[in-house]
Amino acid sequence: MSYQVLAAHGGTSVPQAQTQTQTQTQTQTQTQKSSAQTKLVHISAGEYPPWISETLKDNGFIAQVIRDSFELEGYSVEFTFFPWKRNYDQARRGKYDATAYWYTSEERKKDFYYSDPLSVEATHFFYHKSKPLKNWETLEDLQGFNVGATDGYTYTEEFWALAKSGKLNVETTVKDKLNLAKLLHQRIDVFPVEKHLAFSILQKEFKAHVIHMIDYHPKPLMETTGHLLFPKALKTSPELLQRFNRGLAELKASGRHDEIFDSTLFEKTQN
């Protein structure tokens, strides 16, 4: 920057070398600030402990996987938690760079790009140990059992078809916690629920000595994958999706993904 330019702005004479150094420093600072701004990914999220929650350490397993995957690509992440419907709508309209975290749905694919799977969740039939579920191959094997279910959950098409036909005796309640309570009191015989979620609720809401009355059958009713969604409303989404998937692949290959799982969720599976 020349002396004449400084003088035109009311400045005083400054040695040119010093001025160039100051200018370079200012430019570097501005570049760093700009880079930090462009590298920050804003993600809307919903409460789904123990997988992701505003109240969990590091916001839980899923949030930590997302954060670490982006970090490998030079991004930082900021989570904002909303009720699920608002979480979805805000991201769909492009108010956030991505939204966490969701199962596969043809309806959602109209508005979002799906990341590679962050996790695999398995839904198992839980039962009271005094009346164990020893074996089942098909859902029709559960005829004669009182089956608990939670309102609004998809489970499988076959599950609800058998319930509608009367071949399965299904009793619904509004919360997983209530179904687990009914199971503990033997008011139902089996209850399908994602196993980490089940143990999280049991540890949080029930006394330790009763948790050991509950077990689950190793055969899953269903397995689902969870994903980070990027809104098609934003032009930046395809590139951001590519960068995230690359970071996630590196995280898995390094073994870090499994380390995060073990440190945040493994203990929830113990009973």
Q: pLDDT per residue over 40-95, tens digit each?
A: 999 999 988 889 999 999 999 999 999 999 999 999 999 999 998 999 999 999 99
List the structure tokens of 146: 């009182």
Placement of tokens 């109209």 in the chain: 110
Residue, of 31 and 63, whose pLDDT is higher:
63
Say how far apart CA 18 and CA 31 lie, in whole Å. Answer: 20
Same domain? For 113 and 242 the reply is: yes
- For residue 2, being part of any structural domain is answered with no
- Phi then psi dihedrals of residue 145, to 5 deg: -95, 145
For the stretch 188-227, pLDDT in tens is 999 999 988 898 899 889 998 888 999 999 999 999 999 9
Same domain? For 125 and 215 the reply is: yes
- Which pLDDT value is given to residue 219? 96
Same domain? For 218 and 246 the reply is: no
For the stretch 115-134, pLDDT in tens is 999 999 899 999 999 999 98
Number of domains in the chain: 2
Strands of 82-131 (E only): list them: 98-103, 112-114, 119-128
Same domain? For 109 and 138 the reply is: no
Same domain? For 135 and 183 the reply is: yes
List the structure tokens of 53: 């929650």
Its domain, for residue 131, covers 121-223
Same domain? For 113 and 127 the reply is: no
pTM of the model: 0.67
Same domain? For 126 and 89 the reply is: no
Q: How far is CA 21 from the centre of its chain?
A: 47
Same domain? For 153 and 217 the reply is: yes
Same domain? For 115 and 130 the reply is: no
Same domain? For 212 and 143 the reply is: yes
- For residue 113, being part of any structural domain is answered with yes
- Tell which residue, 64, 67, 33, 62, has the closest CA to residue 50: 62
Same domain? For 136 and 63 the reply is: no
Residue, of 59 and 266, whose pLDDT is higher:
59
Q: What is the CATH number for 178?
A: 3.40.190.10
